[in-house]
Amino acid sequence: MKNFKTLQWIGDADGFLELTDQRKLPAEFTTMKCTTVEQLFDAIETLAVRGAPAIGVAAGFGICLAAQETDKLKISDALKHIEKRADFLAKSRPTAVNLFWALEKMKESARDFAEKNPNASLDAFKNHLLACAQEIYAHDVEMCAQIGINGEKFIPDNGGILTHCNAGALATAGNGTALSPIFEAQKKGKKFKVYADETRPLLQGARLTAWELQQAGIDVTLLCDNMAGALMKAGKVNAVIVGADRIAANGDAANKIGTYSLSVLAKAHGIPFYIAAPSSTFDLNIKTGAEIPIEHRHADEVACFAGLITAPKGIKVFNPAFDVTDAQNITAIITERGVIQPPNEQNIRKTICR
Amino acid sequence: MKNFKTLQWIGDADGFLELTDQRKLPAEFTTMKCTTVEQLFDAIETLAVRGAPAIGVAAGFGICLAAQETDKLKISDALKHIEKRADFLAKSRPTAVNLFWALEKMKESARDFAEKNPNASLDAFKNHLLACAQEIYAHDVEMCAQIGINGEKFIPDNGGILTHCNAGALATAGNGTALSPIFEAQKKGKKFKVYADETRPLLQGARLTAWELQQAGIDVTLLCDNMAGALMKAGKVNAVIVGADRIAANGDAANKIGTYSLSVLAKAHGIPFYIAAPSSTFDLNIKTGAEIPIEHRHADEVACFAGLITAPKGIKVFNPAFDVTDAQNITAIITERGVIQPPNEQNIRKTICR
């Protein structure tokens, strides 16, 4: 089980946010304090905290830090200040949908409080906002736990499970999405091996997933992404489980680049392929994965490593951050609201819109 | 076309071997002199020269360097010295079959000369050995050229070609194996794009293939290995072409790790998958790929990068250097003796044993 906190609020409404500094993993496990909104902005932007759910939770606490700047203001002015700071924090990462969702939720709650309690003390206002941020935190933990419970049955006892990127505890306030069923299976006493793709170019699998599984005492083996096929052929993989960044109404799922290849390989080897993601990942306004915009990132992520040149100068690079796995390659989608199997529009709406 | 020499002998029998120092690519293009057998041993061991054919050719010239150490010896003693030095050079890399083949060929030729000309001058002996090493060199260049001619028709005009690792000019004395048809297609005026997998963990694709294609003025794009599936799905790949390290009698082919995954992905997308390799790569004593021993390499190749830790300390690593692609996933095998299509035992014997 997770034996560290991805992030936590320390103290009362005048406290601060403590983060596991993911930039330093796996060489060093350290926590960092965010006592100002600027520090949190920097932490999100530079990936000290990452993973869509974790970013959302952190942003919630960011509003508590903003509230500490409102001393001697009237509630209505404090609200205006908070809204301004929320807009600032929203610029820390452009694509993480949970960031905007959490900030919106905090602003709404602040507006609601200010409307109903125009003469309340600032302390009461700050306490209210902290309670709201803690609720987002608790909801995230609960979402992870429920995905774990719903997905545990897919973790084969005495089997091998392959995962890609980091959809683990480090990406959430709780036990993660894709890794949560694995932690749950461990709790139930199942024995299994986890194989973690290193996940080029940014090595989230090597740096983060391998680290957190090792920390949790789970038998984990690291491999390069191009070794997954050979591992499957050798009969070592009984299930693949990964997260998702956005899922279309028909079940097509965008996730970290390399996920699509894994799904094709799993299918060719008759291995079940699972996606674990909260219901908030579904975008039912989008019919198929073809409509999901794919972010293409800077060539240097591939052509350099820690400042070292690994490819010829001026080389063209294909560097999409995500790819789309067709619903037909996905055995089931595990959500906190239930398991969608097989993933199709009808089954998705039945589970997600209930 | 290739505009550099992977290796070349400079001068007469008292000359030296000049190598492109592949350890410094792509950051720096430099050549290095090997004037002693020890220097060449070190160059092979530390991958300044690499690629099975290139290592064999270099070893041939290594015997010419050994012959320079025989001054004032009788021919029979010079022969003994050369045999001893060949045994030393054979220890530079344990698995490259061409290394042993070339050294054996040089020893045989030396023995033959010494037997027939016991009273010849040492100069005549050295000249004979240089001629023999140059013959190995020329044979390699010719083998590459013929693979290029035989494989050129598979390079789609206005298409995209994906390759993996480096089976290029840098791996041979000539234009390479998998890249030779690409250079030949360029000569014929075909327009196409080449996509080069970076090839983790040692990045031969990024460091070497991307470099030599860029040098040759070929439109080349680098990608991480896990992006190949997304690239195929996007319709950018019309053919895959790679080399091989060992091919069984039934056509199963061992090549750089990741090749098998590519073959499965190509099949799923209806993309032809070609292997280009000299006839010397076939091991007809081995019935299927299951009998090919797979070298597993050190964990640090995956868990570290240029001395930097990229994975948690003590992590278990799956790091096979090669995988085996089933004959049924291979559209054709391109050799200097002809194209084997489809690859099966009968077609292989017909082409290779003629």
Which residue(s) pair with A253 in the sheet?
A247, A325
Residue pair A55/A45 in contact (Cβ under 8 Å)? The answer is no
Best probe of the B interface among A23, A197, A219, A224, by most B CBs < 10 A, is A224
Question: pLDDT (tens digit, 9 = 90+) per residue, B10-48?
Answer: 999 999 999 999 999 998 999 999 999 999 999 998 889
Closest-approach residue (CA) in chain A for B26: A312
Residue B342: cis peptide before it, omega within 30 degrees of 0: yes
Classify domain A7-142 by CATH number.
1.20.120.420
- B311 and A200 in contact by Cβ < 8 A? no
Domain spans of chain A, in order of start? 7-142, 147-352
The DSSP code sequence of B27-83 is T---EEEE-SHHHHHHHHHTTSS-SHHHHHHHHHHHHHHHHGGGTT--HHHHHHHHH
Closest-approach residue (CA) in chain B for A268: B264
**A316, two tokens:** 């063209």
A288 contacts in chain B (CB < 8 Å)? none
Residue pair B223/B162 in contact (Cβ under 8 Å)? The answer is no
**Eight-state DSSP code of residue A23:** T
- A302 and B224 in contact by Cβ < 8 A? yes
- B313 and A203 in contact by Cβ < 8 A? no
Mean pLDDT, residues B43-72 taken together:
94
Residue pair A92/A132 in contact (Cβ under 8 Å)? The answer is no
Closest Cα to residue A60, out of A14, A20, A17? A17
CA distance to B24, B106, B166, per residue, from A312 (Å): 11, 37, 14
B320 contacts in chain A (CB < 8 Å)? 227, 230
Give CA–CA dist B164/B178, Å, rounded: 9
Closest Cβ opposite residue B201 in set A224, A229, A318: A224
Closest Cβ opposite residue B195 in set A203, A226, A318: A318
Radius of gyration, alpha carbons of chain A: 21
A261 contacts in chain B (CB < 8 Å)? 226, 228-230, 261, 265
Closest Cβ opposite residue B230 in set A228, A268, A320: A320
- B264 and A302 in contact by Cβ < 8 A? no
Q: Which pLDDT score, from 0 to 100, does residue A98 have? A: 79
Q: Which pLDDT score, from 0 to 100, does residue B306 have? A: 78
Best probe of the B interface among A29, A204, A261, A329, by most B CBs < 10 A, is A261
Tokens 């001629």 belong to B131
- Mean pLDDT of all residues in chain B? 95
Burial of A103 (0-12, 13-18, 19+ CB in 10 A): buried
**Eight-state DSSP code of residue A353:** -
- A200 and B226 in contact by Cβ < 8 A? yes
- In angstroms, what separates the C-alpha of A210 from chain B's closest C-alpha? 7
Closest Cβ opposite residue B311 in set A207, A231, A319: A207
Closest Cβ opposite residue A227 in set B229, B308, B318: B318
Closest-approach residue (CA) in chain B for A229: B261
Q: Which pLDDT score, from 0 to 100, does residue B95 have? A: 63
Rounded to whole angstroms, the maximal C-alpha distance in chain B is 69
In this prediction, the residues of chain A whose per-residue pLDDT falls under 50 are none
Residue B156: cis peptide before it, omega within 30 degrees of 0: no
The DSSP code sequence of B282-330 is EETT--SGGGS---B--THHHHEETTEE-S-TT-EEE-BSEEEE-GGG-
Residue B308 — pLDDT band, cuts 50, 70, 90? confident
Q: How many Cβ atoms from other residues are within 10 Å of residue B219's Cβ?
A: 14
Contacts 24+ apart (CB under 8 A), A79-82: A79/A110, A79/A111, A79/A114, A82/A106, A82/A107, A82/A110, A82/A129
Of the listed A245, A252, A323, A326, which one is catalytic? Answer: A245
For A47, the 3-state DSSP assignment is coil
Burial of B257 (0-12, 13-18, 19+ CB in 10 A): buried
- A222 and B315 in contact by Cβ < 8 A? yes
Q: Which pLDDT score, from 0 to 100, does residue B39 have? A: 98
Closest Cα to residue B281, out of B311, B255, B301, B316? B255
Closest-approach residue (CA) in chain B for A193: B316
- A308 and B312 in contact by Cβ < 8 A? no
- A227 and B26 in contact by Cβ < 8 A? no
Best probe of the B interface among A200, A227, A240, by most B CBs < 10 A, is A227
Domain B147-352: which topology? Rossmann fold (3.40.50)
Question: pLDDT (tens digit, 9 = 90+) per residue, B163-201?
Answer: 999 999 999 999 999 999 999 999 999 999 999 999 999
Closest Cα to residue B345, out of B291, B294, B286? B286
Closest Cβ opposite residue B315 in set A210, A258, A265: A210
Question: pLDDT (tens digit, 9 = 90+) per residue, B270-292?
Answer: 999 999 999 888 889 999 999 98
Tokens 């091991």 belong to B283
A300 contacts in chain B (CB < 8 Å)? none
Best probe of the A interface among B23, B207, B224, B315, by most A CBs < 10 A, is B224
- In angstroms, what separates the C-alpha of A116 from chain B's closest C-alpha? 51
A219 contacts in chain B (CB < 8 Å)? 316
Q: How many CB pairs under 8 A join A and B?
A: 191
B222 contacts in chain A (CB < 8 Å)? 302-303, 311, 315-318
Amino acid at B203: L
Closest Cβ opposite residue B309 in set A26, A200, A317: A26
**A172, two tokens:** 């959430």
Active site residue B245: yes
Give CA–CA dist B302/B238, Å, rounded: 31
Helix (H) or strand (E) holding B162: strand B159-163
Q: Which pLDDT score, from 0 to 100, does residue B215 have? A: 94
- In angstroms, what separates the C-alpha of A317 from chain B's closest C-alpha? 5
Per DSSP bridges, beta strands B31-34 and B16-20 are: antiparallel
A229 contacts in chain B (CB < 8 Å)? 258, 260-261, 264, 323
CA angle (B67 as vertex; B64, B69 as ends), nearest 5: 130
Of the listed B140, B245, B252, B326, which one is catalytic? Answer: B245
Model ipTM value: 0.91
